[in-house]
Chain A
């Protein structure tokens, strides 16, 4: 049907990326641009007594100095949080306003309080140095564990609690626990991560006084949402006077979904100064000011009966929001987390409570996986632990509790309806690939070398393809979560595709082109994919939550179908055949039962040169679709990690990693494999290496690559990956999404392997050498 689906087409965009011709935001320079530098808080919490800008303003080369007071006076509002979460008592979450530039109080180290624009970057920085800000340092609550008892950060937000949210049936869980024969309890932290996309955040803003328009080039995963928020909530400019362009973006992992202070202030300054303003974060600014990820403290309890059947799951989580609610900061530890706690299992009763807590740290928001890695970690760690406590093989315990293929659609006790899946199949495939049968021999061989070898599973599920708009909005989302896809067939038969999805490394220019070229039966070279520009793409909600293909791709399929239908009418008319007697195959319209045919290109030309055209049909060949999914998609899979631990040094080496994932229909297996590799690397990073750490006073201790350990190639084994396929039942591609699976599944698999190797119940992530060494000494 679509010959391009399933083809490992090489990524077309890579030619420009690997030959240095990518066009990233920092590559864009505008005539006369000034350079921005930000003054950032050195304190975790302090009152701004005064800011004297005289020295900065008179610094040679400085052209503008603006503080929070200037922005407030100009009517620039706070950066909003786009998802309203309600507490169990029905009250709205408590929102601490986040001004783009702090005006009265700073609440985390690195929070900007002034922007200085200079003729050169050096001048801007000298201007920042010349600012005289008088702070009154205040006691901070930087530690999640004690923040609810600590000093109150924001006026009116007691116990630093934004919301106390719950999901599920508490009474049913209590009843299940009363009946239980066995109870497994785990308490652990899901470590804070700092995203570290290779391209730091950047922006170039320009103001056109003639049209009163601002053009903002910025590193965004969703330029239309950025425009909407800056127009409707922040008041930067009316939506039709603001164009947001996100050209090539060098990785996002979620951190570039959000609307940040810097581009807001820079765009405002560009208008105030009537000259373009450019800002590119330094890596140390990225560490301090990009939204961080994860950071939960959780206690989970699993109730089981004699046969190892899960009866109930109770989860209590304290989630770190940081100093302010970032754009989607409230949804990540609630709807993207609690709803996933059924995992792949028929647990009949589940109840989760989450405290969303402010701390004097950088805001926390979605990071690759966003809530689902945290949920998977809870389930897969506690299931593995329960198996060990019961003396049951962990794969067997999972098998006993899997949702069976004939149970779909399956409604979980935490508000989702899984459409399809086959968990047993991916687990078996993974076990075979990982040679689980040979593990005891490998373990013995390691022991002979003085090493401890362990094996761990993680059978994850995620909800992707965000989201049915009505459902999301009813749960508090401030925007719909459909996607737009427009296809313009040009008169010569080539095709320009406009998608509201955004590619920042995912390879959409290839995958989406494959889908469209395959639909039309034309060479992929004839398809151009345009994304990331509110001036060219009608609307879009962007890329995150592994939604692009399932939602954005589906929109394109629908538009392609409309075009094919219109072509059927045009060609039928020209071939003097009723449209329903015209077949479209491999790029050719054929009048059934005749030898009359027209190519796709001929029909395109006829559409634009309508000499002989069906009555009542408009010329042209261009269609668009807003596709709103009916449900989430549910990618799932089985990951198996095998580790070797050096007991003397505590070093954990991942010696094998197997991932068998069900992403539904796979368009480009090579790109999918790449996505899995990247995700698994980040998941292993979370398990073994990465920790965003603040000290008690709220200083970021891991503020550079000297201290924050990103996984490198030699930290990783060669991955063994495969897929199983149960197509999604409700989108036209059958695709589920693959972008986050690795980061979701891997941490639990690795930590299950580490604890297996050590013979201990738990080790904190990241399982650093010292932690492992201490765990062994305590064991």
Chain B
């Protein structure tokens, strides 16, 4: 790890300005992703702006059909949140399946969504629920947010404040865990908003999370889990690694989607 200047601002405004004035700064949330990259010296930022003291960034709020989760809310907090478990139990369950207990007690939703790891879980929910990412400067819709491998619509220094999830009628998440890391090799989040409005978010399979529109279309006529077997799914740009080839990932996406849909109807 290289030396860096450490800051622990007390306000969002200070955080953003510290980050802006740094030569090569980085926000620090739970550190579960960032610290290992520092240790391996894959990154060597000049300044770390720790968001840990910004109490206003943490917490789960439920109001008028919207569940809002502050960027600094730990996975374990979402998993245990009564509001989350009542309003969107699939989202609470998703949080409870991230990594291991240590990771869940440190890692944050803001860090996860900012990072856009292709195998992260939250992005599937962000996509499927059509969430809104609220930053220090604007609101970004889920559909345009994830841009590619570790790439998002965030501008340099832009700070995620919170993420607002519309509450669906029902939802489910199914994840195929990587045998070693336990990240998602394929994860599918389905959200049913009623009136044949179903959204499907897929993570793990491609360079970043995406909507499986062809399946959504098939489901709009009938909410039949078997639709996942046949809906067009192009795995041409899917990830391929030791854990799963692109072709096998496509199979897993179908199976996870089918099982998520089955648990919806079941």
Minimum distance in angstroms from B36 CB to a CB of chain A: 9
Chain B interface, DSSP helix/strand/loop, else mixed: loop
What 19 new A-B contacts, CB under 8 Å, besides A702-B242, A769-B176, A770-B248? Answer: A284-B40, A649-B251, A649-B255, A650-B248, A689-B179, A691-B242, A701-B242, A705-B180, A706-B178, A706-B180, A706-B181, A707-B180, A707-B243, A708-B180, A709-B178, A710-B180, A768-B243, A769-B244, A773-B248
- Closest Cβ neighbor of B177 among chain A residues: A651
* B178: chain A residues within 8 A (beta carbon): 706, 709
- Closest Cβ neighbor of B255 among chain A residues: A648
B179 touches A709 (CB 8 A): yes
Q: Indicate whether B29 reaches chain A with its CB closer than 8 angstroms.
A: no
B245 touches A649 (CB 8 A): no
A-B contact pairs, 27 of them (CB 8 A): A122-B1, A284-B40, A649-B176, A649-B251, A649-B252, A650-B248, A689-B179, A689-B180, A691-B242, A693-B242, A701-B242, A702-B180, A705-B181, A706-B181, A707-B242, A709-B178, A709-B179, A710-B180, A715-B179, A768-B243, A769-B176, A769-B179, A769-B244, A769-B248, A770-B244, A773-B248, A774-B248
B251 touches A773 (CB 8 A): yes
Q: State in angstroms the CA–CA spacing of A284 and B248 once bound together.
A: 29
Q: Which of A661-713 contact B (CB under 8 A)?
A: 689, 691, 693, 701-702, 705-710
Q: State in angstroms the CA–CA spacing of A203 and B186 once bound together.
A: 42
Minimum distance in angstroms from B221 CB to a CB of chain A: 24
- Closest Cβ neighbor of A646 among chain B residues: B255
B245 touches A770 (CB 8 A): yes
Minimum distance in angstroms from A188 CB to a CB of chain B: 19
* A284: chain B residues within 8 A (beta carbon): 40
Instruction: List 6 A-B pairs, minimum CB-CB distance, nearest first.
Output: A709-B180, A709-B179, A706-B181, A770-B248, A648-B255, A707-B180
* A710: chain B residues within 8 A (beta carbon): 180
Band of interface residues on A: 20 to 34
Q: State in angstroms the CA–CA spacing of A122 and B39 once bound together.
A: 11
A residues sitting closer than 8 Å to B (CB atoms) are: 122, 284, 648-650, 689, 691, 693, 701-702, 705-710, 715, 768-770, 773-774
B residues sitting closer than 8 Å to A (CB atoms) are: 1, 40, 176, 178-181, 242-245, 248, 251-252, 255
Q: State in angstroms the CA–CA spacing of A701 and B252 once bound together.
A: 23
* B180: chain A residues within 8 A (beta carbon): 689, 702, 705-710
* A770: chain B residues within 8 A (beta carbon): 243-245, 248
Minimum distance in angstroms from B93 CB to a CB of chain A: 17
Minimum distance in angstroms from A704 CB to a CB of chain B: 8
Minimum distance in angstroms from A116 CB to a CB of chain B: 15
Q: State in angstroms the CA–CA spacing of A706 and B180 once bound together.
A: 5
- Closest Cβ neighbor of B244 among chain A residues: A770
Minimum distance in angstroms from B134 CB to a CB of chain A: 31
A768 touches B179 (CB 8 A): yes
* A768: chain B residues within 8 A (beta carbon): 179, 243
* B176: chain A residues within 8 A (beta carbon): 649, 769
* B248: chain A residues within 8 A (beta carbon): 650, 769-770, 773-774
Minimum distance in angstroms from A728 CB to a CB of chain B: 39
Minimum distance in angstroms from A118 CB to a CB of chain B: 14
* A701: chain B residues within 8 A (beta carbon): 242
Minimum distance in angstroms from B107 CB to a CB of chain A: 15
Minimum distance in angstroms from B230 CB to a CB of chain A: 15
Q: State in angstroms the CA–CA spacing of A689 and B251 once bound together.
A: 20
* A648: chain B residues within 8 A (beta carbon): 251, 255
Minimum distance in angstroms from A39 CB to a CB of chain B: 14
* B252: chain A residues within 8 A (beta carbon): 649
Q: State in angstroms the CA–CA spacing of A773 and B179 once bound together.
A: 15
* A693: chain B residues within 8 A (beta carbon): 242
Minimum distance in angstroms from B120 CB to a CB of chain A: 13
* A715: chain B residues within 8 A (beta carbon): 179
* B181: chain A residues within 8 A (beta carbon): 705-707
* B243: chain A residues within 8 A (beta carbon): 707, 768, 770
Minimum distance in angstroms from A467 CB to a CB of chain B: 37
Minimum distance in angstroms from B206 CB to a CB of chain A: 17
* B245: chain A residues within 8 A (beta carbon): 770
Q: State in angstroms the CA–CA spacing of A668 and B248 once bound together.
A: 47
Q: State in angstroms the CA–CA spacing of A584 and B138 once bound together.
A: 89
Q: State in angstroms the CA–CA spacing of A774 and B245 once bound together.
A: 11
- Closest Cβ neighbor of B186 among chain A residues: A649
- Closest Cβ neighbor of A129 among chain B residues: B41
Q: State in angstroms the CA–CA spacing of A701 and B241 once bound together.
A: 10
Q: Which one of B176, B178, B242, B252 has the greatest number of beta carbons of chain A within 10 Å?
A: B242
Q: Which one of B176, B180, B248 has the greatest number of beta carbons of chain A within 10 Å?
A: B180
Q: Which one of B176, B179, B181, B242 has the greatest number of beta carbons of chain A within 10 Å?
A: B179
* A649: chain B residues within 8 A (beta carbon): 176, 251-252, 255
Q: State in angstroms the CA–CA spacing of A769 and B186 once bound together.
A: 13
Q: State in angstroms the CA–CA spacing of A388 and B223 once bound together.
A: 44
* B255: chain A residues within 8 A (beta carbon): 648-649
- Closest Cβ neighbor of B254 among chain A residues: A648
* B251: chain A residues within 8 A (beta carbon): 648-649, 773
* A702: chain B residues within 8 A (beta carbon): 180, 242
